[in-house]
Amino acid sequence: MDRLRIISLPLLAALALGAPAWGDGPRPGRDAPWPEDWSPEFESLQRQDFRILPLKRAAQIVAERFRGRLIAARIVPPTPAERARGAILVQELRLLTPRRDVLLIRLDAHSGAFLEVAGAGLTDARRKEAKP
């Protein structure tokens, strides 16, 4: 009986230590342990040419059209309407106008196109273009 224990203990220990290594190798026909089921809204993130507009450039775009001081900025996901227009990410900026009103400005983070501008004093804050 002791002889059987002496032989079986190292054999069981070797099996227990080697078992996790058997499942770590590549499996034929499967790249990952689970399929990559992304929602269709994330497919556009696979584009190689997608670059986010730097905050400095977004602030310049806003300053070309509106007077005021930038007080906040963040990157947020688009609303369904903005997503329908092709926006993947949105830069949301808050601008304090000279009359102390706050404008909420949403830009496409890829192209810099204005998606939405809202707030009191919008017409007063807009820069007037010089007429020729």
The token pair at 89 is 């990410």
Q: Are 58 and 90 in contact (CB under 8 A)?
A: no
Q: Is-above-0.75 flag for pTM? A: no
What are the residue boundaries of the structural domains of the chain, listed by start?
A: 51-125
The CATH code for residues 51-125 is: 3.10.450.40
Q: Over the stretch 68-82, which tens digit does the pLDDT of each residue have?
A: 999 999 999 999 999
The token pair at 127 is 């820069």
Within 13 Å of residue 108, how many CA atoms lie on the same side as its CB? 16
Q: Over the stretch 9-61, which tens digit does the pLDDT of each residue have?
A: 777 777 666 655 555 555 555 555 555 666 666 666 566 566 788 999 999 99
